[in-house]
Amino acid sequence: MAVRLPRPHRFDVFLAAGGLAGGIVLWALGLHTSGSGVLGADWGLIPLTVTAGLELLRRTRPQLALILGTFAITFDMFTPGNVATILMFTDLAYTAVLYGSLAAARRIPVTTGLVSLGVTLGFLVWWREPQAILVGLGCAVVSFGPAATGALVRNHHEAAETARLRAEQTALLAELDRTQAVTAERARMARELHDMVAGHLSAIAIHSTAALSLDDPDTSRASLTVIRENSVAGLTEMRRLIGILRDSGGESGPMPTPTLDGLGALIAGARANGLDITLDAGQGSVPAPVELAAYRIVQESLTNALKHAAPGPVLVLLRRADDALRIEVSSPYRPGDGPRAPGSGAGLPGMRERAALLGGTLTAGPGGDRWTVHALLPLAEHTLARAARTEVSDEEVPA
């Protein structure tokens, strides 16, 4: 089966044709590199034609072209010589390093350097004249010089390609970081929105149901009062959050971050919604990220108690122990009771995410006749550094 050689590059065709034409002109004018040779000047057309043909392979088969070109230039040494043949051979040595394999690019400069050194020493021993150095220098100019130049150019190209790939990788990593940041920000905003509004909406749903089911003016009026208070509070929270999302110039002042000092107001609002709550808070001072997470966990736990808990006391406990803040919220539990208001199912996952961002844990489930939410939030500095990259700062989170 015949082997089809790749189609030569257009520039290589022009180079081969130009080299052949130039060599024929020099031969016709009788311009040779030396005055004599073992063979006549007409024999010089053979290596000239072969070398010109090999120029067609300078990109596609560079190593094969160099090997055959070496035989051609060696044959040319037995003729008066042609400058065009020598110049085209130097190009073959250059392109063999530039376009050849990586192993060939490393091997050819070393080989041509050793050959040049061997030619120099051989002619010195044979002639015992200083002019032998010129022969070795000429060999180095024809072979080692182009090979070394090709190695330098190839290294430059590889460095440029490496820089381009590194820039692409940097851009890709930046895009991945941006995507992850957007995803994390969306998750954070979803948690904030759920925690801020879900409680108010649950209270509205429960009291509106009570107002519709009981034909009692006093009960309806009390329910409507609670509905109005929760709707106003929910709208206020929504406006604050929307204001943060829409503010791009930083002209508005920072919004206050919920703290554990605000648990009293939170408990009072939950009691107004009908929960019987006992608060036992002895946590002392805790870092801001832990304080925010603890507030939101208690807030969501009370929202769940409002929707799911059976009648009875709700206990809220906060204690600091062993460099961690322990949170417990327990409420009466009666299996089989359905929720008094619909939910999205994002409450427990959101609380677990908040605890995990601080390196803590959160569990929730029934135990006897009570449903208990238990969270343990570490206070160590290394956990807070990770939370600071994910949670908003004190000046960014609305109350």
- pLDDT of 336 strictly over 70: no
pLDDT averaged over every residue in the chain: 80
More confident residue, 367 or 168: 168
| Segment 31-38 mean pLDDT | 78
Q: How are beta strands 313-320 and 361-367 bridged, if at all? A: unpaired
Q: What residues does each domain of the chain span?
A: 10-165, 176-247, 260-335+346-378
pLDDT band at 18 (very low <50, low <70, confident <90, very high): very high
- Predicted local confidence at residue 244, as pLDDT: 63
- pLDDT of 92 strictly over 90: yes
| Segment 368-391 mean pLDDT | 70
CA distances to 97, 136, 160 from 64, in Å: 12, 25, 27
Percent of the chain with pLDDT over 90: 24
Which of 316, 322, 304, 324 minimizes the C-alpha distance to 378? Answer: 324
8 Å CB contact between 359 and 348: no
pLDDT band at 339 (very low <50, low <70, confident <90, very high): low
CA atoms lying within 13 Å on the CB side of residue 318 = 20
Residue 241: other Cβ atoms inside 10 A: 18
| Segment 298-323 mean pLDDT | 85
- Predicted local confidence at residue 354, as pLDDT: 84
- pLDDT of 139 strictly over 90: no
- Predicted local confidence at residue 152, as pLDDT: 93
For residue 232, with 0-12 CB atoms within 10 Å meaning exposed, 13-18 middle and 19 or more buried, which class applies?
Answer: exposed
347-357 and 381-390 helices, crossing angle to 10°: 130
For residue 41, with 0-12 CB atoms within 10 Å meaning exposed, 13-18 middle and 19 or more buried, which class applies?
Answer: middle
- Predicted local confidence at residue 394, as pLDDT: 37
Q: What is the pLDDT of residues 68-77, one digit of tens each?
A: 999 999 898 8
- pLDDT of 395 strictly over 50: no
- Predicted local confidence at residue 198, as pLDDT: 67
More confident residue, 307 or 61: 61
Tell me, rounded to whole angstroms, the distance of Cα 260 from its chain centroid.
Answer: 38
CATH superfamily of the 260-335+346-378 domain: Histidine kinase-like ATPase, C-terminal domain (3.30.565.10)
